[in-house]
Structure 1
Amino acid sequence: MDLTGSHTLNAPVATVWAMLMDTDILARIVPGITRLEKTAENEYLAIAEIKLGPVSGAFTGTLSLSDIRQNEGYTLHVKQNSKIGNADATVSIALNALDDAQTEISFNGNARLSGLLARTGQRVISGVATTLTKQFFANFEQELATDPATHS
């Protein structure tokens, strides 16, 4: 399953970058994440509760960052396991400063699903991925609006 898209945030690139690198903020803005715990440099234990159409489950796995380029982007690798199946995703995240106050985040990657997740159907999973992406950016915007002074 392909994961691609972009979104413009009303914040400077350095602010967006700092937020993307902050474990506590990520735990608040990534949909479904109930816990994100640092296990090593740029590696995390991630626990999530996700509902995918008629299927829901608790996922446990890893989240790691590689190819880190400050204020430009990184590669995100997520590997999650659950009773309803497994997900393995690699996504390149890129930041582009549109001006001093706006940053475009673009992402491009893919996810491989197995088990019941894979059998749920491509259309359902694609719809859920789109919904989760929209929720992530809505949460990001809300986090920016909550206390912009701490993020500038």
Structure 2
Amino acid sequence: MELTGSHTLDAPVSTIWTMLMDTDTLARVVPGVTRLEKTAENEYLAIAEIKLGPVSGAFTGTLSLSDIRENEGYTLHVKQNSKIGNADATVSIALKPLSDAQTEISFDGNARLSGLLARTGQRVISGVATTLTKQFFANVENELAADPTTHS
């Protein structure tokens, strides 16, 4: 499953970067993630609840960041396991300043699903990916709106 897209946020690059590097903020903005616990530098235990059409499940796995370029982006690797199947995703995230007060965030990667999740999910997966992407950007915008200091 391909994961690609971009979105413009009304905040400077440094603000978006700080949010994307903060464990608590990431746990709030990544759809489905209910808990992130730091296990090592740039590595986390991730607990998620995901619903794909008629299939839902609790996932446990890892989330790690690599190829970190301050205020420019990083590669996000998520590996999740559950009773209904496994998910393994690698996504490159890039930040591009459009102005002092606007940042374009873009992502490009793919996810592999296995088990019941893959069999049941294939029919609805592209719609789910679009929904999760929209939810992620809406969550980031809500975080920005909740903290007036982010618009400096």
* Structure 2 equivalent of residue 40 of structure 1: 40
Aligned length: 152
CA contact (8 A) 2:55 2:121 kept: no
SS across alignment from 1:108: strand
Structure 1 Cα separation of the partners of residues 125 and 99 of structure 2 = 35
- In structure 2, the residue matched to 1:67 is 67
Q: Percent identity?
A: 89
Q: With structure 2 as the length reference, what TM-score do the two structures score?
A: 0.97
The gaps in structure 2 that reach 5 residues or longer are none
The separation in 2 between residues aligned to 1:25 and 1:88, in whole angstroms, is 22
1:29 deviates by 1.0
Query: For residues 77-105 of structure 1, what are the alpha-carbon distances to aligned partners after superposition, in whole Å with 9 as ceiling and x for unaligned?
Result: 00000000000000000000000000000
Q: 1:84: which partner in 2?
A: 84
State the distance in 1 between where 2:4 and 2:89 align: 12
On the 8 A contact 1:76/1:90 being kept in 2, the answer is yes
Secondary structure in 1 aligned to 2:71? coil
Residues 1:143 and 2:124 are matched in the alignment: no
Contact 1:19–1:151 at 8 Å: present in 2 too? no
Amino acid at match of 2:24: D
**TM-score, normalised with respect to structure 1:** 0.97
8 A contact 1:67–1:74 mirrored in 2: yes
Q: Distance in 1 between matches of 2:136 and 2:80?
A: 18
For residue 51 of structure 1, what is the aligned residue in structure 2?
51
